Chain A
Amino acid sequence: MDKAEILPCYVSFDSRDCTGCGACVKVCPTKAIRIKDGKSILLVESCIGGGECIGVCPRGSITPTTYPYRQFRKTRFPVVLVPPVLYSQFANVPPEKVLKGLKRMGFKHTVDMSYFLTLFKKATEQHIQSLDTPGEGRPVISTLCPVVLRLIAFRFPSLMGLLHPVLRPVSLMVKDVAAFLSRHHGVDIGEISIFYLNPCPTQMTPESSTHHHTTPYLSRTIGINQIFAELKHEIKSLEESPLSYEPEFEFEKPPTGNSLLWAISGGETAGSTIQNSIAISGMNQTIEYLEKLELGLFKEYDFIEFRTCREGCVGGSLCAVDKYAAKNNLLQHIARFETKDRHQKNPIKNVYAKERFFDSLTSAKMEKIFGQKKEPLTIAELTKINRIYNQLPRFNCSACGAPDCLTFAEDVVRGRATLLECRVLGQKISPNTRSKMLKVKDLKERLNLVLAAGEEGLDRSLSGGYCGDLLSDVMANASEHNVWLTVQTHQNIVAVAVLKEIACIIITCGNRPDKATCHKADEEKIPLFLSDRSAFDLATDLGLLKGG
């Protein structure tokens, strides 16, 4: 299965606004962006939805793929899943009111995610206690941040074995809640639509991410910033006309202190029995520590929490308010609550029954979907990359459109770029080499030529040229890969070009070839160009093109 077919595009690029500045190219952790013809393009097969590009674009021309959220009202049984980070978006608004605001917006049920996060935490504690041998299987890597999961599958597959094997709370939550509500209300599970309020663009279509099963219910994600204004308005309206509503089920109740901490870095293990853990946030820091983990470091820790957004989920690119303000809001909430866990051990064993663990199948599937899709290089290619890299300026300026010189060298070897695209090296390349790098198709535009036939040969490379109208002279003196300038139009010129392996023919001074000549040029794939100018004029321009 091709990754591009099954994966959604997490982000989209609007080329109208793109200035080709390359800011996005540099920040992408999987090197999935290039500049071509002055515009950013995405190599979809390498995108893991990290969202770094969204924030750095000075023109705002990169946007996350989103669901038109108002359509939730058209579904029959809309249920909204609320992560702790949503509460951080409102200063001095208690979580209870946020949930009521969502009810008033039209959601049939609100599900507070912290209920499931606490279950997850307990399951994590149990899992870590069950690791006997010191150092073995450690540190357990948190799977909560979906970008971290994909980053590991893409760049650090040897760490897959350290991933926390407990099913992620979002997956658990969606599955349980849909089944429960379907039973409780006696509606078909297909009627239930689950909407997940998301701080980042990574789970825009959760059904295609790491779920065990294809879901029988509709499940969509909505960016927090999409609903923020409307929700804020509804919360305000609660002051004038309060909503009397008592939560029916445990998962509808507002969260308590500890679970709110999950929205910020370090919250996953705060107040848990796991003492020996570290929490890392930010894309660069995450990569740095994953690299070190691969060197065999940090075995002394039981658990590592990673969040690719700075400060944790409050730093997500779909949050509506500033991450530091959001963090402060949360800490204020927590100061008002007691910091204790929402529920004790009793329901946990049941919820985390056997099927709630990641199986090896899931991990293999993840690697298949998110793993590296590039053709592996051969040692010969790698040697070539090294040789090219050593010629490059190594400024990592990105003017060529690749994120750094090494990636550019790889692109050249993979046939995705030509050395001429390096702005520094391009200047230094000798005229002879430069003309070798020109392609036949480049002439068309530069010399303003009309293509009469032989389109299939446009990708041929060029080296030097010859002017001549005596066929025997051309046979004697033209070289292979030459461009040939002539006034002759009969079909024998094509035969000469084939014999001498000439790259293309330009018929000068407004002469026109007959049908037979064009037909033969098509057959032999020799591009045949027309120009009203003289061979002398064209040759002068060709000389300039050569850089001579």
Chain B
Amino acid sequence: MENLIKTFFIKHRDFVHAGKPSIEIKNILKSLNTPPDIIRRVAVCGYEGEMNVVMHAYNGRMNLALSATRIEIRITDKGPGIQDIDQAMQVGFSTAPDEFREMGFGAGMGLPNMKKNADRFEIISAPGEGTTITMEFKTRGSDG
């Protein structure tokens, strides 16, 4: 059962506000005294997910669901979708245009990095139908 659900909105090409939702999630987890290593992994995954929406999709949502034993981040966008998920999951593969690469993004590290840091990683996508990424993190706490 999920006890706390919060939704954040992500705008396409909004580099100025990108990261704010992940920072807010980080601060929520801190107030619950979540261990720092879990916070760090959630923050990295959240931010990578946000950046993907900012760069590739039109608009998106980030959902945080919290329970005593788990943290779930779900990022849903109305973007172009991914042609070949296996290829997208490879380190170094990126479809980011040069303008984003010049800003230091689009190195093809995002998805593999998210998979590496989450305890469970699921990606659903089809061309023209957008992408949904669900990541789960197990917390050790029993009372949240």
Whether B66 lies near A296 (C-beta < 8 A) is: no
User: With A291-B23, A294-B40 known to touch, is A376 a contact of B31 (CB < 8 Å)?
Assistant: yes
Out of A157, A291, A376, A382, name the residue touching B4 (CB < 8 Å). Answer: A382
| Interface status of B111 (Cβ within 8 A of chain A) | no
Q: Does B36 contact A (CB under 8 A)?
A: yes
A382-B28 contact given A295-B43, A300-B104, CB 8 Å threshold: yes
Establish whether residues A379 and B32, one from each chain, have CB atoms under 8 Å apart when the complex forms: yes
B19 at the interface (CB under 8 A from A): yes
Complex CA gap A158/B44 in Å reads 12
> How many angstroms between the C-alpha atoms of A292 and B26 in the bound complex?
11
Cβ B66 vs Cβ A379 within 8 A = yes
Cβ A296 vs Cβ B67 within 8 A: no
CB-CB under 8 A from B26, the residues of chain A are 291, 294-295
Contact of B30 among A292, A372, A379, A386 (CB under 8 A): A372
Q: Judge if A430 is at the interface, Cβ distance under 8 Å.
A: no
**Min C-beta distance of A302 to chain B, whole Å:** 16
Instruction: Decide if A295 touches B19 in the complex (CB within 8 Å).
Output: yes
Contacting residues of chain B (84-132) with chain A, CB-CB under 8 angstroms: 104
| Chain B residues in 8 Å Cβ range of A382 | 4, 28, 31-32, 66
Q: Please, how many angstroms separate the alpha-carbon atoms of A380 and B68 in the complex?
A: 10
Contacts known (A158-B39, A386-B4); A296 close to B31, Cβ less than 8 A: no
Chain B positions 124 through 144: 1 when the CB is less than 8 Å from some CB of chain A, otherwise 0: 000000000000000000011
Contact A295 B31 (CB under 8 A): no
Chain A residues positioned under 8 Å from B67 (CB to CB): 379
A376-B31, A378-B143 known; A295 vs B3 contact (CB < 8 Å):
no
Q: Is the CB of A376 within 8 A of B44?
A: no
* Complex Cα–Cα for A380 and B4 (A): 8
Query: A295 contacts B143, CB within 8 Å?
Result: no
The answer to whether residues A380 and B40 also contact, given A292-B19, A294-B26 and a CB cut-off of 8 A, is no
Q: How far is the CB of B105 from chain A (nearest CB, A)?
A: 11
Contact A158 B31 (CB under 8 A): no
B6, A380: Cβ atoms closer than 8 Å: no
Chain B residue, CB-CB nearest to A377: B31
> In the assembled complex, which residues on chain A have CB atoms less than 8 Å from the CB atom of B32?
376-379, 382
A295 to B143, alpha carbons, bound, how many Å?
Answer: 26
Contacts of B83 in A (CB 8 A): none
Separation of A378 and B67 alpha carbons in the complex (Å):
10
Contacts of A410 in B (CB 8 A): 31
Question: Are A294 and B43 in contact (CB-based, < 8 A)?
Answer: yes
Decide if A157 touches B44 in the complex (CB within 8 Å).
Answer: no
* Shortest CB distance A417–B (Å): 17
Partner of B40, one of A158, A291, A300, A386: A158
* Chain B interface bracket (under 10, 10 to 19, 20 to 34, 35 or more): 20 to 34
Measured between beta carbons, the chain A residues less than 8 angstroms from B46 are 295
CA distance A148 to B144 in the complex (A): 29
User: Which bucket holds chain A's interface residue count?
Assistant: 20 to 34
- Could you give, for residues 25-42 of chain B, a 1 whenever the CB lies within 8 Å of some chain A CB and a 0 otherwise? 010101111001101100
Check if A296 sits within 8 Å of B3, measured CB to CB: no
Contact A383 B3 (CB under 8 A): yes
Within 8 A of B (CB), among A362-387: 372, 376-380, 382-383, 386
Q: Which of B28, B36, B40, B144 contacts A378 (CB 8 A)?
A: B144
- Give, as a whole number of angstroms, the nearest-CB distance from B25 to chain A: 10
Contact bitstring A430-456, B, C-beta under 8 A = 1, else 0: 000000000000000000000000000
A485: min CB distance to chain B, Å: 44
Whole-angstrom distance between the Cβ of A236 and the nearest chain B Cβ:
52
Report yes or no: B36 in contact with A296, Cβ–Cβ below 8 A.
no
Query: Residue A296 contacts which of B6, B44, B104 (CB distance < 8 angstroms)?
Result: B44
Chain B residues in 8 Å Cβ range of A378 = 32, 143-144
- Give Cα A158–Cα B28 distance, bound, in whole angstroms: 14
Across the interface, name the chain A residue whose C-beta is closest to B46.
A295
B3 touches A379 (CB 8 A): yes
B36 CB to closest chain A CB (Å) equals 4
Residues in chain A near residue B3, CB distance under 8 A:
379-380, 383
Give Cα A171 to B104, complex, Å.
38
Q: Which of A158, A372, A383 has the most CB of B within 10 A?
A: A158
User: Which A residues touch B37, using CB under 8 A?
Assistant: 158
Expressed in whole angstroms, the Cα–Cα distance for A158 and B117 within the complex equals 15
B18 to chain A, nearest CB (A): 10
In the assembly, what is the distance between CA of A160 and CA of B35, in Å? Answer: 13
CB-CB contacts of A405-417 with B at 8 A, as 1s and 0s? 0000010000000
Once the chains bind, are B47 and A296 in contact (CB under 8 Å)?
Answer: yes
For window 125-163 of A, CB contacts with B under 8 Å fall at 155, 157-158, 160
**Is B22 positioned at the interface, with any CB of A under 8 Å from its CB?**
yes
Contact call B47/A295, Cβ cutoff below 8 A: yes
Q: Evaluate contact between A386 and B43: CB separation under 8 angstroms.
A: no
The interface residues of chain A lying within 8 Å CB-to-CB of B144 are 378-380
Tell me the minimal C-beta distance from A500 to chain B in angstroms: 37
> With a CB–CB cut-off of 8 A, which chain B residues contact A379?
3-4, 32, 66-68, 144
Besides A376-B32, A386-B6, 11 more A-B contacts (Cβ < 8 Å) are A295-B23, A300-B104, A372-B33, A376-B33, A379-B4, A379-B66, A380-B3, A382-B4, A382-B31, A383-B4, A410-B31
- Please list the 8 inter-chain residue pairs (A to B) with the smallest Cβ-Cβ separation, ordered nearest first: A376-B33, A158-B36, A379-B144, A295-B47, A296-B44, A379-B3, A158-B40, A157-B36
Tell me the A residues contacting B by CB distance below 8 Å: 155, 157-158, 160, 291-292, 294-297, 300, 372, 376-380, 382-383, 386, 410
Q: Can you report 10 A-B residue pairs in the complex whose CB atoms are below 8 A from each other? A: A158-B36, A291-B23, A294-B26, A295-B47, A296-B40, A376-B33, A377-B32, A378-B32, A382-B32, A386-B4
